[in-house]
């Protein structure tokens, strides 16, 4: 019977095709990451060898050691501080603002739209005027400067997202808490935050990643003190030669925190916790 | 002493006037039911008592204290919501304890009160479960538990049974009535269901278009309605309304049938009125011992048995009326028979003012 089916329709073959396709697509997507990762462990000779060294004989940690010895790795720490602190503030301020927009209709119909429109602004359009303001404030090349900027730049996104999540919370839950003795602040803390928890984490991840990956603001507004890893990587592109080993090692260091952030948060991102709140 | 006193309460939503000047006093320990059709303002009134809506004007006193402008948390009330309003991320025990912990009740006391409330409601074995693992009836018990565990002056119920199916609703109604008898607390209960109102209430407050139409004990409203609206709202099947004209001794229907009303002598003859007859006060000829009956011949049009009783539809005086008869009194449509109408229970209504005369 199976002989009657064309070759590609036979059940076994069909599955094989699917797997083959999946493997090919995976290789296409994963290879650049693999290549970056593997370069960071190569010696200079291996990097420029032809034909290419597909996998090194031994994993050299020399490239990483140099980064740590010269202090370049500290720029990852800078990025971590800037991204975490700005995410923290953006989440607090943004959630409170979103709650106010939803429950008290603050600013009427249009304020929320105006807020998200601020996020559409191309960063390059504001970065140079901002530079002049920062020079005047003395905020160039400081943590405060970038934290304030990242917080402000993430706020519209946080407000917009949290507004959606908060709107989905049944009003009766909050009213019940108010009757049961909570203040508005306690309602926010004990009802709104737990109810919006998965949304809260998802938004925080994206906010964190935005700040983590920022290049333009960090390039213009920092010099030597709070250089971020994204800016640091560009220092290895030289006039005469490019330090591929350092570029690769630095990029790997920059990828790890994001990788773990997403991996840890993933279970919150997918978990629906609002089941059973009301009839259903 | 009254636990709740409302004076001249108004509530506007923009141009919409939801509550139009309500005065209400609820004595300590009484079970008051606010009832009325959709949009009559009963839920708005309850939410304003709770402080979830702000009064436009008027005053609200709870426990002798003016709380018109107080936050909900400062009113010493507990409330059960229509959709249960359980926190999905807390288990049953933490849900029930929520209000106590918010008010900083010592943990030992919380334990004690939660287990007592759980025992009263039969949810002791569910304390570690989460709301999503409970049935609708169990969730409603938890929601009630969260209210009764509190030591409040006033307990508010906002249509708590309307999400339950019919059987469960009957069970929970009994449960709520029993709880009120055991606790003896002051309760205000909103419903659109007149059976809930009749069965639960010490006192019914019937609302219509933002005003109190009539208030009193369930039987008072049932037997002595002041308006056509009250007469028609309470009772199932509904009161029959038949156009009629007054005579010296009672009324005459449009087909000439004269029905005497014993004890109603001061009537002015020749006035157009509406005669109100409850289906329950109509019986087959000769079956009722009460005095003051009018006997009329009828032809049965439609028969709806309910098991214990039968609801028979028949034409009378140009209108179609329903009579609630004994189960085996009539069996099929087209049957010609005679009925006795208890005219001492009949009401006559002025069709213009809709007031009962």
Per-residue pLDDT tens digits for B157-177: 999 998 888 888 888 999 999
- Of A186, A275, A278, which is closest to B102 when you measure between CB atoms? A186
pTM of structure:
0.84
Contact B102 A278 (CB under 8 A): no
**Is residue A74 located within the same domain as residue A49?**
no
Helical spans, DSSP H, in chain A: 11-39, 44-48, 62-69, 74-104, 111-119, 123-137, 143-167, 171-179, 184-187, 193-195, 197-213, 216-221, 229-234, 244-270
**Is residue A81 located within the same domain as residue A220?**
yes
Tell me, what's the pLDDT at A5? Answer: 77
Tell me, what's the pLDDT at B204? Answer: 96
pLDDT band at B1 (very low <50, low <70, confident <90, very high): low
What is the Cα–Cα distance from B249 to B156, expressed in whole angstroms? 47
**Is residue A213 located within the same domain as residue A233?**
yes
Tell me, what's the pLDDT at B311? Answer: 94
Which contiguous run of DSSP H or E holds residue B274?
Answer: strand B272-277
Residues A82 and A146: beta-carbon distance below 8 Å: yes
Q: What is the phi/psi pair of residue B46, to 5°?
A: -65, -40
Q: What is the CATH number of the domain that holds A97?
A: 1.10.3720.10
What is the Cα–Cα distance from B271 to B353, expressed in whole angstroms? 13
**Is residue A29 located within the same domain as residue A81?**
no
Burial of A259 (0-12, 13-18, 19+ CB in 10 A): exposed
CA angle centred on B12, ends B10 and B17, rounded to 5°: 85
Q: Identify all chain A residues contacting B72, using CB atoms and an 8 Å cutoff.
A: 175, 178-179
- Of A177, A191, A279, which is closest to B136 when you measure between CB atoms? A279
- Of A170, A182, A194, which is closest to B89 when you measure between CB atoms? A194
Range with the lowest mean pLDDT among A59-63, B60-64, B211-215, B352-356? A59-63
What is the mean pLDDT of the segment spanning B122-148? 93
Q: Identify all chain A residues contacting B103, using CB atoms and an 8 Å cutoff.
A: 180-181
Residues B149 and B113: beta-carbon distance below 8 Å: yes
Interval B208-251: pLDDT, tens? 999 999 999 999 999 999 999 999 999 989 999 999 999 888 89
Of the candidates A154, A194, A168, the one whose C-alpha atom is nearest the C-alpha of residue A278 is: A168
- Of A179, A183, A190, which is closest to B77 when you measure between CB atoms? A179
Counting Cα atoms < 13 Å in the Cβ hemisphere of B304 gives: 10
Counting Cα atoms < 13 Å in the Cβ hemisphere of B274 gives: 18
Q: Does B73 touch chain A (CB under 8 A)?
A: yes
Number of cross-chain residue pairs from A and B with Cβ atoms under 8 Å apart: 88
What is the Cα–Cα distance from B327 to A105, expressed in whole angstroms? 59
Tell me, what's the pLDDT at B291? Answer: 74
**Is residue A140 located within the same domain as residue A58?**
no
Tell me, what's the pLDDT at A274? Answer: 41
**Is residue A113 located within the same domain as residue A54?**
no
The domain of A51 spans 2-62
**Is residue A9 located within the same domain as residue A126?**
no
Q: Does B77 touch chain A (CB under 8 A)?
A: yes
Q: Does B130 touch chain A (CB under 8 A)?
A: yes
Burial A152-173 (b: 16+ CB within 10 A, else e): ebbbbbbbbbbbebbeebbebb
**Is residue A145 located within the same domain as residue A89?**
yes
Q: How many helices (H) and strands (E) does chain B have?
A: 8, 21
Range with the lowest mean pLDDT among A117-126, A262-271, B304-313, B336-345? A262-271
Domain C-terminal end among A41, A62, A83: A62
ipTM of this predicted structure:
0.87
**Is residue A176 located within the same domain as residue A231?**
yes
Tell me, what's the pLDDT at A279? Answer: 35
Tell me, what's the pLDDT at A155? Answer: 94
Q: Does B81 touch chain A (CB under 8 A)?
A: yes
Q: Which stretches in chain A have pLDDT values below 70?
A: 1-3, 268-280
Mean pLDDT score of chain B, rounded to an integer? 92
Residues 171-230 of A with CB under 8 A from B: 172-173, 175-183, 186, 190-191, 194-195, 197
What's the number of domains chain A is made of? Answer: 2
Q: Does A266 touch chain B (CB under 8 A)?
A: no
What is the Cα–Cα distance from B36 to A261, expressed in whole angstroms? 55
Q: Does B332 touch chain A (CB under 8 A)?
A: no
Most B-contacting residue of A105, A171, A173, A179 (CB-CB within 10 A), to test interface? A179
Tell me, what's the pLDDT at A265? Answer: 79
What is the mean pLDDT of the segment spanning B170-186? 92
Tell me, what's the pLDDT at B225? Answer: 95
Residues A71 and A227: beta-carbon distance below 8 Å: no
**Is residue A55 located within the same domain as residue A73?**
no
**Is residue A275 located within the same domain as residue A193?**
yes
- Residue B139 in this model has a pLDDT that exceeds 50: yes
Tell me, what's the pLDDT at A13? Answer: 82
Domain C-terminal end among A38, A62, A86: A62
Residues B89 and A273: beta-carbon distance below 8 Å: yes
**Is residue A53 located within the same domain as residue A192?**
no
Q: Does B50 touch chain A (CB under 8 A)?
A: yes
Range with the lowest mean pLDDT among B47-56, B148-157, B255-264? B255-264
Domain C-terminal end among A62, A90, A112: A62
Tell me, what's the pLDDT at A271? Answer: 55
Q: Output the CA–CA distances (angstroms, integers) from residue A84 to A118, A222, B11, in the order listed.
A: 22, 18, 48
């Amino acid at each position: 019977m199976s002989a009657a089916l064309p070759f590609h329709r036979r059940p076994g073959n069909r599955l094989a095709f699917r797997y083959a396709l999946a493997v090919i697509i995976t290789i296409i997507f994963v290879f650049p990451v693999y290549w970056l990762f593997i370069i960071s462990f190569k010696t200079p000779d291996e990097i420029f060898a032809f034909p290419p060294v597909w996998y090194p004989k031994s994993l050299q940690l020399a490239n990483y050691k140099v980064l740590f010895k010269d202090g370049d790795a500290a720029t990852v720490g800078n990025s971590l501080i800037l991204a975490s602190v700005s995410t923290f503030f953006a989440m607090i301020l943004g959630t409170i603002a979103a709650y106010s927009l939803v429950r008290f209709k603050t600013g009427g119909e249009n304020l929320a739209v105006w807020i998200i429109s601020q996020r559409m602004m191309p960063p390059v359009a504001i970065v140079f005027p901002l530079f002049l303001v920062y020079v005047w404030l003395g905020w160039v090349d400081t943590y405060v400067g970038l934290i304030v900027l990242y917080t402000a730049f993430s706020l519209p996104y946080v407000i917009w997202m949290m507004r959606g999540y908060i709107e989905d919370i049944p009003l009766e839950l909050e009213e019940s808490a108010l009757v049961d003795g909570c203040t508005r602040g306690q309602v926010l803390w004990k009802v709104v935050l737990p109810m919006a928890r998965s949304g809260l984490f998802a938004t925080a991840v994206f906010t964190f990643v935005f700040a983590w990956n920022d290049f333009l603001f960090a390039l213009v507004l920092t010099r030597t003190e709070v250089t971020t890893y994204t800016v640091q990587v560009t220092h290895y592109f030289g006039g005469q030669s490019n330090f591929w080993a350092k570029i690769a090692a630095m990029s790997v260091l920059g990828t790890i925190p994001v990788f773990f952030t997403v991996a840890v948060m993933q279970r919150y991102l997918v978990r629906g916790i609002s089941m059973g709140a009301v009839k259903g | 002493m009254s636990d709740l006193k409302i004076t001249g309460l108004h509530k506007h939503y923009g141009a919409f006037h939801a509550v139009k000047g309500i005065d209400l006093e609820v004595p300590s320990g009484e079970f008051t039911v606010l009832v009325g059709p959709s949009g009559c303002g009963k839920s708005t009134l309850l939410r304003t008592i709770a402080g979830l809506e702000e009064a436009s004007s008027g005053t609200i006193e709870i426990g002798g204290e003016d709380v018109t402008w107080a936050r909900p948390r400062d009113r010493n009330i507990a409330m059960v919501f229509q959709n249960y309003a359980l926190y999905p991320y807390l288990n049953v025990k933490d849900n029930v304890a929520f209000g106590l912990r918010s008010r900083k009740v010592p943990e030992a006391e919380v334990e004690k009160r939660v287990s007592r409330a759980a025992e009263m409601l039969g949810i002791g074995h569910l304390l570690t479960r989460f709301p999503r693992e409970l049935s609708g009836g169990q969730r409603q018990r938890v929601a009630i538990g969260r209210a009764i565990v509190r030591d409040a002056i006033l307990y508010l119920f906002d249509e708590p049974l309307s999400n339950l199916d019919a059987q469960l609703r009957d069970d929970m109604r009994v449960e709520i009535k029993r709880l009120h008898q055991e606790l003896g607390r002051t309760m205000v209960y909103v419903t659109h269901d007149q059976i809930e109102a009749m069965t639960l209430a010490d006192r019914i407050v019937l609302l219509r278009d933002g005003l109190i139409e009539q208030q009193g004990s369930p039987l008072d409203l049932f037997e002595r309605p002041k308006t056509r609206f009250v007469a028609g709202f309470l009772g199932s099947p509904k009161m029959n309304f038949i156009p009629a004209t007054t005579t010296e001794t009672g009324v005459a229907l449009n087909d000439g049938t004269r029905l005497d009303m014993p004890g109603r002598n001061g009537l002015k003859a020749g006035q157009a009125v509406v005669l109100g007859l409850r289906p329950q006060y109509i019986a087959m000829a000769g079956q009722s011992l009460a005095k003051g009956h009018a006997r009329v011949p009828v032809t049965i049009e439609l028969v709806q048995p309910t098991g214990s009783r039968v609801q028979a539809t028949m034409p009378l005086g140009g209108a179609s009326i329903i009579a609630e008869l004994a189960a085996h009194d009539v069996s099929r449509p087209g049957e010609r028979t005679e009925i006795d109408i208890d005219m001492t229970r009949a009401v006559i209504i002025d069709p213009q003012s809709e007031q009962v005369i």
